[in-house]
Amino acid sequence: MENHSLIEKIKNKDGEAELKEIYDKYRNEFLIWAMRKHSCTKEEAKDVFQQSVIIFYENIIYGKVKEITSQVKTYIFSIGKNKILELSRQKSKQQFNSEDYMFAGQDIFYNDFDDVYEEKIQKIEQCISKIGDPCKKLLVEFYYHKRPMIDIAEIMDYKNSDTVKNLKYKCLKRLKKIFQSEFGILFKGAL
């Protein structure tokens, strides 16, 4: 698969299907590599691979990576390798060196997948869940997957992008109210 067109495919509304294809293709190879070469347990290897695929996806959709100079497999395995090193550092309680996060002269952007993240996410998930669907889906599509309004209208079966824009505003208002009740003074004021 041509790397440039792959990036475009991942960015469009069928991006998750492309991601699944990549996941299925390299999953077993990564697990074997992580277990044999880095002495990971199978569960650790699986977790690391899943995180690596998400980081790969986010780097593309947030435009942090515009071009992949190496093979996709090499890129994902490099992310995975750094995650494994991070894991072993956590195990041995050593601090990590940011220089390890360079790959072929290209920054790989890392996001939290740690204990703090796990703690935060439960509270946030509770808040987001309270707005219910379709608001939750719409906001996630717009802010996380960075889908254009027109694509969201198609995915969620709305008339046009204006409808989506309008609904998005209402959803944010609803979310803000929930946050106000959960987090208090920080959210004082009207949206």
Is residue 130 part of the contact set for another protein (CB under 8 A)? no
DSSP, res 132: -
Q: How far out from the chain centre does Cα 33 lie?
A: 23
**Residue from the set 1, 5, 32, 150 that interacts with another protein by CB under 8 A:** 32
Q: How far is the CB of 6 from another protein (least distance, A)?
A: 18
Any contact of residue 58 with another protein (CB under 8 A)? yes
How many residues lie near another protein (CB under 8 A)? Answer: 48
Buried b (16+ CB within 10 A) or exposed e, 123-155: eeeeebebbeebbbebbebbeebebebebbbeb
User: What is the token pair recorded at 58?
Assistant: 């986010």
| Distance in Å, CB of 128 to another protein, minimum | 4
> CB–CB of 40/50 below 8 Å?
no
103 binds another protein (CB under 8 A): no
CB of 9 or CB of 176, closer to another protein:
176
Beta strands in 20-119 (DSSP E): 102-103, 106-107
In whole angstroms, give the CA distance from residue 167 to residue 179: 18
Binding site for another protein (CB under 8 A): 16, 20, 23-24, 27-28, 31-32, 35-36, 39-42, 46, 50-51, 53-54, 57-58, 111, 117, 120-121, 124-125, 127-128, 136, 139-140, 143-145, 165-166, 169, 172, 175-176, 179, 186-191
